[in-house]
Structure 1
């Protein structure tokens, strides 16, 4: 499926971000947020199938073609909320929708909970609650994270002789994707280095989090979401086996829940999965904006 796509650079006060833009200039404004170690290409199959939306798919900091955070600054999940809001302000959007996959969906929930006056609609793909740590375990987890950061300079990023080798490595990752999906992510995620290719993503993204939400804090964020929200859950993804997340999702009065076949990247793995997700979200945005489908 083909669609006109524009490249965009956003000079935010604290960092420079890259983005891919889909849809008509007068479409309903939506920021799209990808998952951990992915990039804006995660929406390459889905975005052209979404109707009447002006979608700005960001490369979040440390991912894709966007800048990395400065030395000594980590990648706490809540910090992406500032990136999202600063990007919207740069675009001149006072109120807008969010479309998120996996980590991007979690960021969307946090942003919508924190600033409900700005986030009008929330479309989530196989992501909902941040990983949590019980309060009693925080000191131990913090210590392990700090030690891991100290050791990072001794680690080297892998270099792959060919793009095909890098794609093959992505196919062996913990979150499996189709070859087509891996190739799309590689288009934006790889860079040439001496000896071959390596992934652009900041190695610090793989470090354990210094601090996580407690389970109570995560649940409170979800309960604070007030805007209409559509959650697509993949049968073979990450949310479906999480009984507590599913229970909380079903309790939210503003949520519509859609359970679809497919894996964690069902919106990117193939055209059929992308169309199934698009069918859910086109109806959701049409109902919210008063458009005819």
Structure 2
């Protein structure tokens, strides 16, 4: 994690995002997109082990040091797609590659399927398509989303007594991480407030999605991708726990590599970051 890094603010037409820039100016352009409730420190172990890449790692809206969306706005996955396309515009990148983990991998897949002429290569960690829903479930899911949204105004963020308690809370999150990973995420994700510490993430990120793609809709994005795709699958990750997901992957135009580790295998220790880096270095620089 000794690689030189530049901290920047990206003033997009509709929101300001924070980002780190790594690697040589003439490296292959790559935008790194982290997962839900994480931040760009998700790539702190992995990025220094990648070679020949000019990487812009972004704090997504509502995460890390980036702005929160304005009142009344939503955190739909396609809003993140638009944000990342605007990041590419900021750097003048007509073509670029994407490195995505979890929700960031889903966002990356949607970008590559929406704008296939823009994406050079797609490197994904333990996710590829969004959670889907059956058409008949749409009314109930929309109702549940509205109810949760209206109830949110009466909820307050949890204030932790100490920085260490905030780290422990993230370790026990919906997708748990080890202490080392939580400490790295906390560097950018935790802030002091009267009475203790809170995580910076926007509370609205916890709201359920009002509308989900159906499975055929989600797969349509994958089948429209025109670039090489490498998906690292964590043996103890999220995808292995979803019934039928592995069988589904066999029918997709994706280079699949299963590696030992949990959902954050690229962040939890140096060994995990190295095996993921070895895979992606071969992918980004084929012989």
**Taking structure 2 as the reference length, what is the TM-score of the superposition?**
0.98
User: Is 1:6 aligned with 2:6?
Assistant: yes
* Match in the other structure for 1:256: 255
For structure 2, the 5+ residue unaligned runs are none
Q: Distance in 2 between matches of 1:180 and 1:124?
A: 22
* Match in the other structure for 1:278: 277
User: Is 1:146 aligned with 2:146?
Assistant: yes
Q: Is the 8 A contact 1:129 1:245 kept in 2?
A: no
Cα deviation for residue 241 of structure 1 reads 2.9
* Aligned-residue RMSD, C-alpha: 1.0
* Match in the other structure for 1:38: 38
Cα deviation for residue 222 of structure 1 reads 1.6
User: Is 1:136 aligned with 2:124?
Assistant: no
Q: Distance in 2 between matches of 1:87 and 1:249?
A: 29
Alignment of 1:192-271 (within 5 A): 192-253=192-253, 255-271=254-270
Q: Which string of whole-angstrom CA distances, capped at 9 and with x for unpartnered residues, describes residues 99-136 of structure 1?
A: 00000000000010000000110000001110111111
Moved more, 277-286 or 20-29: 20-29
**Taking structure 1 as the reference length, what is the TM-score of the superposition?**
0.96
Cα deviation for residue 247 of structure 1 reads 2.5
Q: Is the 8 A contact 1:128 1:239 kept in 2?
A: no
Q: Distance in 1 between matches of 2:56 and 2:244?
A: 32
Q: Is the 8 A contact 1:37 1:201 kept in 2?
A: yes
Q: Which string of whole-angstrom CA distances, capped at 9 and with x for unpartnered residues, describes residues 234-291 of structure 1?
A: 00001123343323322223x211100000000000000000000000000001xxxx
* Match in the other structure for 2:112: 112
For structure 1, the 5+ residue unaligned runs are none
Cα deviation for residue 3 of structure 1 reads 0.9
Q: Is the 8 A contact 1:128 1:245 kept in 2?
A: no
Q: Distance in 2 between matches of 1:95 and 1:248?
A: 29
Alignment of 1:174-185 (within 5 A): 174-185=174-185
Q: Distance in 2 between matches of 1:266 and 1:185?
A: 14
Q: Distance in 1 between matches of 2:249 and 2:227?
A: 14
